[in-house]
Amino acid sequence: MNIQEYISSGIVESYVLGLASPEERAEFEQMCGQYPELVEARNNFELALELHARTSTARPSQEVKEKIWSAIQQTSSTPKIVTMEPTASRSTGLRWVAAASVILFIVAGYFAFHFYNENAQLKNSNKNLETKINSMDSVLGTMADHDKLMSDPNMTVVNMVGMQKGSPSSASVYWDSTSANVYLIVKNMPKLPSDKQYQLWALINNKPVDLGLFDAPKDNKIMLRMKNTEKADAFAITVENKGNTGGPNLNQLQSMGKAKL
C-alpha cells in the first residue's frame, strides 16, 4: 500500500476521532514519523473537525467556569502540574512500598508472635521431657540395681509368701551372704494404718533379729536397703506399732521365706 492509499483509507479520520484500535494507532504514529504528507493529512482533518465542532452554539455559564476553577484550586495545592506526573507515579510506587512494608511488618509481627509462642511451648515441653527423663532415669537406675542384684552370683533370693489369709502380701529378700547386704523388694504389701509399720526380721537359730522397719511403699516393686545380716535361716515380715523396738508380734506375721533350701 502506498502512502496515498493509506491516507485515503479512512485511517486518518479513525485515528483523529479516537476510533482506531491500539495497533492501528501505533502504526499510524510510526507512519507519521516517516511521511510528512500523512501528518499534513492528519492536521487538515483535525482542523476541519475543530472547525465543525466549534460551530456548537452551547454557551456554558460563567458560574460553571468559577466552579471548575475553585475545584482546580482545591485539588492542586502542589506547585506545578508538570511535576505531578512523575511525583504521582513515584508516590504510587511509594504507596506500594508503604503498603508492602505494612504487610511485611504484620507478617513479621505474626511470625515473631508465632515463634515466641512456639518457643515458650517448646521450653515447656522440654521441661516436661526433662522431668520425665529424670524420673525415667531413676526408674532405670532402680531397674539396673535390681538387675545387678539379681545377676549377682553371691546373691541369695528369698521369696516370701503371704501368711495371712486373703492378704496377698509378698516380697523378696535379696541377701548377699558374702557382704551381708540385705535388700527387700516389695511386690505387694497392703497399705497400713498410719500408726503401724512393717518390720523385716531375720530368723537365726529360731531367734528373730530386727532388720528394720519400713512403711508400705507407694509403689510396689520398690527396693529397700535393710540392715545387714551375715546369717539367716529365714526372713519374716510382721506388722508392728510404728517405731517398734521390741520383738516381733508373730500374730501379725505377714510373709515368710526360708533362706536356705
Partner 1 sequence: MAACFILSPLSPYTKYSEHELVALLLRQNEQAFSYLYDNYSPALFGIINQIIPEKELATDVMQDVFINIWRKIASYDAAKGRLFTWMLNIARNAAIDKIRSRPYQDSLKNQPLPENVNTNTPNSVVNADINDVGLKKLINKLKEEYRVVIDLSYFQGFTHEEISKLLGIPLGTVKTRIRSALMQLRTLI
Q: Which residues bind partner 1 (CB under 8 A)?
A: 8-10, 12-14, 16-19, 29, 32, 42-43, 45-60, 64-65, 67-69, 71-72, 75-76, 79-82, 84-85
Which residues make beta-bridge pairs with 174? 157, 183
Q: How far is the CB of 81 from partner 1 (least distance, A)?
A: 6
Q: How far is the CB of 100 from partner 1 (least distance, A)?
A: 27
- Residue placing its CB nearer to partner 1 in the complex, 48 or 107: 48
Q: How far apart are CA 228 and CA 8, in angstroms?
A: 127
Q: How far is the CB of 51 from partner 1 (least distance, A)?
A: 7
Rounded to 5°, the CA angle 219-222-225 comes to 140
- Residue placing its CB nearer to partner 1 in the complex, 49 or 143: 49
Q: How far is the CB of 59 from partner 1 (least distance, A)?
A: 6
- Residue placing its CB nearer to partner 1 in the complex, 15 or 235: 15
Maximum pairwise Cα distance, the chain: 144
Interior/surface letters 21-42, b for 16+ CB within 10 angstroms, e for the rest: eeeeeeebeebbeeeeebeebb
- Residue placing its CB nearer to partner 1 in the complex, 35 or 45: 45
Residues 6+ apart with CB under 8 A from 182: 173, 174, 175, 176, 200, 202, 211, 225, 226, 227, 228, 229
- Residue placing its CB nearer to partner 1 in the complex, 58 or 261: 58
Q: How far apart are CA 106 and CA 170, in angstroms?
A: 66
- Residue placing its CB nearer to partner 1 in the complex, 8 or 128: 8
End-to-end CA gap in the chain: 127
Q: How far is the CB of 90 from partner 1 (least distance, A)?
A: 14
What sign does the dihedral 43-45-48-51 (CA atoms) show?
A: negative
Q: How far is the CB of 115 from partner 1 (least distance, A)?
A: 48
Q: How far apart are CA 111 and CA 108, in angstroms?
A: 5
